[in-house]
Structure 1
């Protein structure tokens, strides 16, 4: 095997539809993320209150959670391409609204919060629908590679976008950043418009599962053509289906335990100042701690060919989650910044593996008629988990100290994932090569 096989697996980029989506997402990941910095900066500048910034974050998360669940149900009953167009159009209009409000001097706190809510609704719809749409574009054997490429652009944008915004704000101000966001979303709209239609009602052969993992009796995975059902009832069907799929429940539980117990970002400021000798208010130490995690993600993304052709997705996901817990334990134990940074970089790399296989399993194992609702549940976990982690680590750090809280969180992750693997052995045995057919 040559060296190139260990680097980025580019096979999905040979598919024109995915290639257009990927290029557009790479642009929007950077140019569409300026508002991540601009909105909190504008709110703090206007009010001088970090509490208002916190309120805006809560508004955004609540709007996103509701939207993810609702759009997940819609994605199973309407053309996913149309829903993606609507979600991205909503983002573009929100950014234009932020630009106009800033330009006209009417960007009051209520106006900004309303636009933040609109952004959360639109982003929840695009995240959920994209996860449900990709398996229609990419064959099942390339889902790991496709998710790796998508994660690479997402995390690259999360690093480059805010850095570039920080450089541009003193030069052009906040208003033009929103306009840049809107223009970047315009490219995404073009890419989505070029996708083929993705109507509902398509089902594919289910992967081989034993009696313990079958759907509960009475759950219909695909409604007959023309059958209309209430969105709330469809949501209920989705949750009942999810509850009956032990592998899907297990990957959600693994992911949630890794994020909630072992995502100690809320304690980084205290670590930087009191353990690694950084200045109050933030400095080089704090910046390095926050940069180390995405650096690890990017490193793993550049080497995605190493694992994108693997078949034991469940074992790799669970192993990555336990390795993440081990990295966090090391982070909590060390008082040496160099070791802490190495542990955090390694943690970012194994988390890339965890998230890549989580997405691949959920997309391949779920019937297409229910992918939207399952992806909506995943989106809620992805967005709600870090918020809950911040709360738990903040409380734990204040109660027992930052480093003991971090060590405890890493240990709980390793223990919880080990118990989940023992309780759901199908997760460890999950073999992508045994899926019967390609789930498109």
Structure 2
């Protein structure tokens, strides 16, 4: 049924509210701990059984990807209907049913560049959380200069053969499939790259977790040794992968800006203002006693509010069909700085409590904040370094020329 007028949207709101009340379990209307995040996939774990119920119900309705076409498993909603859906989800404080690189990055790119067979094959399982994807982009010698990647993909007649290495591959050890940039032509840098998909259980694929200074890590180094890939898993044309890569990076940077970074510290962490009142103290008016710290926390809160409103505007523009373009680079840079500044304020507010790592004598939330502060150092690297994003802004937005 199509809802094109106010009365129809109100009918849709009523229908949606009734469905959510009947189908969202009570435990899915509570704050979510770090270890309760649902990534889906063949190896997906559900600490809370209701998480599986909630994912299955939302996935079956297509509401994990509300505006994707129903033909590919999505909800088929208009942007107005989706706005109503999101309002109703917020009203009952519903947890996200699924976190997924497939939803945020790969799926939108496949909708734009994939053929009909590929869309029908891969998108429905993303919507239902049956397949977990990882991203094969950066390499040891091709991070900031992504187009310098050297992972080889050779045409062997009835299949492709892939050899090479990727690094910082988030959750590669947990993923089912990978969307990967490979070199199909060594005579041209940008025009010699292709975009290909393959199963992480393919012979010759090995993922090794990387330990970070924060003590835990989603990142892996990933090795490909004579990996055979069917030809129908190439997306777009041979040597046409750079266009897809750039578009997907826009989706990635937009999703990072909208959803935050790893290193937020998770549940159990108060904000800088709350910790400052506990550890720095308050004045006679109940304000943070240290005026300088109070002012910097206020500045950060205003920046965060303005930033979030900007992200909302950009999201609405994208849903309206407007080209987001290089705005994603601006927002990704801003999000990295904002998250790092927040963690600096947290650690300053904690004082000596911020030295805690493990053991008795330290608040659990404070120890999470310390680890989150260390983890946040990577925010200006992942999803495109801050330097690269500033270069994009300088060249593509401000129109500045390279220095000669």
Higher strand share: 2
CA radius of gyration, larger in: 2
Q: Which has the higher contact order (CA 8 A, sep 6+)?
A: 1
Higher helix share: 1
TM-score (norm 1): 0.34
TM-score (norm 2): 0.36
